[in-house]
């Protein structure tokens, strides 16, 4: 009986060692694949916003311009219900935004 248990234990140990070697080979192959993909894949783009004074000022100015655009469109839509007038206001606003921004904000930074 003792020889049989020793033989089964040896078989289990051999199976365990084989599984360990197989797992090590898989991990090594995965590590090589990650290394190759790491060299081939471009680095991720930075998604964080710049936090300086100029960046905050520019964001605030852009928010004011966007809010003004939306308010003008809402006012035109409320005063004149015509789709043609609303479309004309959109086109005119889009053409005048650069002029208003240039006059309102000093963008020469």
Mean pLDDT, contiguous 10-residue spans, the chain (109 residues): 87 94 94 86 75 84 92 92 90 90 74
Scanning the chain, the segments in alpha helix (DSSP H) are 2-40, 53-79, 83-104
37 assigned to some structural domain: yes
Domain boundaries, position 27: 1-47
pTM (predicted TM-score): 0.51
33 & 57 share domain = no
73 & 88 share domain = yes
4 & 34 share domain = yes
What's the confidence (pLDDT) of residue 107?
A: 59
Contacts of residue 68, defined as CB under 8 A and 6 or more positions apart, other chains included, come to 100
Tell me the CA distances in angstroms from 9 to 19, 21, 106, one per residue in order: 15, 18, 83
61 assigned to some structural domain: yes
CA 89/CA 71 separation, integer angstroms = 12
66 & 92 share domain = yes
70 & 30 share domain = no
């Amino acid at each position: 009986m003792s020889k049989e248990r020793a033989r089964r234990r040896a078989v289990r140990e051999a199976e365990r060692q084989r599984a360990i070697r197989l797992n090590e080979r898989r991990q090594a192959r995965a590590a090589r694949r990650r290394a190759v993909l790491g060299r081939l894949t471009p680095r991720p783009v930075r998604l964080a916003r710049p936090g300086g004074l100029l960046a905050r000022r520019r964001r605030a100015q852009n928010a004011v311009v966007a809010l003004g655009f939306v308010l003008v469109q809402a006012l035109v839509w409320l005063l004149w219900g015509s789709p043609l007038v609303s479309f004309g206001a959109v086109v005119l606003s889009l053409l005048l935004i650069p002029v208003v921004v240039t006059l309102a904000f000093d963008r020469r930074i």
